[in-house]
Chains A and B, each alone.
Chain A
Amino acid sequence: MSEVQGRVRVQRVAYKGEIVEVKTTINHPMENGTRKDKEGNLIPKRYITHFKCTYNNKEVFRAEWYPSISANPFLSFFVTAIESGNIDFEWREDTGKVFKKSAEIIVES
């Protein structure tokens, strides 16, 4: 499998107080532990359990995921643009591995 990498889309410039849509996706198999490989062996569970979005180091949105979420999880939600800075995204796997991505936003008043 190719390297797991998160991708995000946030508009670059926003007005102060504007509600901005954030779209995220990550290429991940989200193995639920019930599938079998070609030899008939069970593929072990491996999925993303937590997603977190922080805006200038303040948490704005958080999610808990279970194996019923599709492979290559897509998620879109909203954030209020308050000030220019970074919006950071973090995906955590059940193995403890963490995948990160960051986006920059410029807020004009």
Chain B
Amino acid sequence: MLVQECNVKFCRRNFLITSFACAIVTFNWHLKPHVVHATEAEVDALVNERLNGVPAKTGKIILDIPEVAENGASVQFTVTVESPMTEQDYVTAIHVFTEGNVTPHVASYYFTPSSGKARLTSRFRLARKQHVRVLATMSDGSAYVARREVTVAVGGC
């Protein structure tokens, strides 16, 4: 009887210790910042930094990205901004951000009136299903934003 009780106690203690250790390990593993992905708020901050208090409007930006990207290591995107591209009125910059990548800022492109067209095509990495945001700033100081969700079959970062 005594032995049995002891055994039960021992088992319970053992169980508690083991589960507690497991909990710590899992918790630490969870906290381990191996890959930290960006958040929506982080991209908000990056966009606001470039806006300098100017209210961002919607429209004018045509974002051409596949709705479902098969390979996240290389996803082609085309950004077109409607603009006459003259000395008086042209697109000064296009900034591309991703809300779920390790590096949320993908690229910034700077145009001049001799660019002719505010349009570019490139390829970026997408770690997982996420939103892509584009900010375009004009020579008159106004700014436009566009946001699109992209589903990624196999993430690549």
A76 to B74, CA, bound (A): 15
The tally of residues in A whose CB lies under 8 Å from a CB in B reads 28
Q: Are B103 and A32 in contact (CB under 8 A)?
A: yes
Residues of B within 8 A of A75 (CB): 120-122
Residues of B within 8 A of A68 (CB): 98, 101-107, 124-125, 157
Interface 0/1 of A54-82, CB less than 8 Å to B: 01001111111111111101111111101
* Shortest Cβ gap from A44 to chain B (Å): 15
- Measured CB to CB, the nearest residue on chain A to B122 is A75
Say whether, besides A32-B103, A34-B102, A70 and B125 are in contact (CB < 8 Å).
yes
Stretch at the interface among B13-21, B52-60, B111-119, B142-150: B111-119
* Shortest Cβ gap from B123 to chain A (Å): 4
Residues of A within 8 A of B98 (CB): 68
Having A69-B107, A80-B116, one finds 16 other A-B pairs with CB under 8 Å, namely: A19-B117, A20-B116, A32-B102, A32-B103, A61-B111, A61-B112, A63-B109, A64-B108, A65-B107, A68-B98, A68-B106, A76-B120, A76-B121, A77-B119, A78-B117, A80-B114
Binding site for A on B (CB under 8 A): 35, 73-76, 98, 101-112, 114-117, 119-125, 157
Question: 9 interchain pairs (CB within 8 A)?
Answer: A19-B116, A32-B102, A61-B109, A69-B107, A69-B123, A69-B124, A76-B121, A80-B115, A82-B114
